[in-house]
């Protein structure tokens, strides 16, 4: 055990972990976060609090994580390199850990041109791999990136993201290897719809023994409608949605499409359980948190294990 992270304890005990996410509001209302989080209480092991997702201004991941922690749950602080320099990021890491947050996800972040402030500067003082290295050095060596000693090191369980579907596919495993070498303890993948391609990626992961060096949580997303399926297939970069899934969603009546989307999500989890090296699941039910419990239960992932 490297940390006191509840997620690490679940994974280290050999259980299939389950995480989900809670997107902070575009406003200053705490109840917006608290009400969403209630749907996930007792259903998942950790809750990702997104950091200005899609480059849109929202309540900070830091604040959202604190609110979730105050509810007795285990937040997973997301941090993107797009919005802060290394001083600000290290300061936030210290503050978050001081407030009981010990699990985080290191990301680059979507380019500002895709958000509501396209004129905003992308900071990227460091990239996501350097952020991973920085957090690891803070934790394991008790030093800031500049070399000074930390008086009270933040013992963070360090996560990173991986997209098995981005081009060029041949470099995806090497990209993962770099993040693990930098210090990533766990990985959350992009939404998986093309299971065959994900399985090919996992073959490469196993050949390099990466599944033994890092916990891999397979990302899944329930589709609400055929329109959502088409949007993800045609408009979301790095997403791979097979045509047959879009056709399957379109083959049922509109009012039954949400149910079909959940069924596909559950089937995906059941199949991914058989893939060697998958240590758990990250359920991204975007603005549909109330359905996470149903998915977890139908997929045989409930009740969640209790670890000390």
Q: Please report the pLDDT score of residue 236 as a whole number.
A: 86
Answer yes or no: is pLDDT of 237 > 90. Answer: no
- Residues 38-88: tens digit of each pLDDT: 999 999 999 999 999 999 999 999 999 999 999 999 999 999 999 999 999
Q: pLDDT, tens digit, for every residue of 162-176? A: 999 999 999 999 999
The pLDDT value recorded for residue 286 is: 86
pTM above 0.85, yes or no: yes
Average pLDDT over every residue of 113-126: 96
CATH number of 6-298: 3.20.20.220
Task: Round to whole Å and give the CA distance between 261 and 221.
Answer: 9
Please provide the average confidence, as pLDDT, over all residues in the chain. Answer: 97
**pLDDT tens figures, 134-147:** 999 999 999 999 99
265 pLDDT higher than 90? yes
């Amino acid at each position: 055990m490297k940390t006191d992270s509840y997620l690490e304890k679940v994974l280290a005990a050999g259980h299939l972990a389950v995480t989900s996410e809670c997107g902070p509001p575009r406003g200053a209302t705490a109840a917006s976060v608290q009400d969403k989080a209630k749907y996930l209480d007792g259903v998942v092991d950790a809750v990702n609090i997104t950091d200005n997702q899609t480059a849109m201004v929202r309540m900070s991941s830091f604040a959202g994580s604190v609110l979730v922690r105050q509810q007795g749950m285990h937040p997973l602080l997301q941090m993107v390199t797009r919005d802060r320099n290394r001083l600000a990021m290290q300061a936030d890491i210290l503050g978050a850990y001081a407030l009981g947050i010990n699990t985080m996800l290191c990301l680059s972040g979507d380019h500002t041109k895709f958000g509501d402030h396209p004129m905003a500067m992308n900071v990227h003082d460091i990239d996501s791999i350097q952020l991973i290295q920085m957090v690891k050095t803070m934790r394991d060596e008790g030093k800031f990136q500049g070399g000074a000693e930390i008086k009270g090191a933040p013992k963070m369980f360090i996560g990173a993201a991986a997209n098995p579907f981005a081009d060029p596919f041949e470099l995806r495993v090497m990209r993962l290897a770099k993040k693990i070498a930098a210090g990533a303890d766990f990985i959350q993948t992009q939404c998986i719809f093309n299971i065959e391609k994900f399985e090919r990626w996992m073959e490469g992961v196993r050949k390099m023994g990466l599944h033994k060096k890092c916990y891999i949580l397979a990302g899944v997303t329930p589709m609400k409608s055929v329109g959502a399926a088409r949007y993800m297939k045609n408009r979301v970069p790095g997403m791979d949605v097979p045509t047959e899934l879009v056709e399957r969603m379109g083959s049922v009546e509109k009012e039954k499409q949400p149910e079909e989307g959940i069924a596909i999500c559950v089937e995906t989890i059941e199949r991914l359980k058989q893939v060697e090296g998958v240590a758990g699941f990250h359920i991204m039910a975007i603005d549909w948190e109330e359905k996470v419990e149903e998915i977890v239960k139908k997929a045989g992932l409930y009740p969640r294990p209790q670890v000390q």
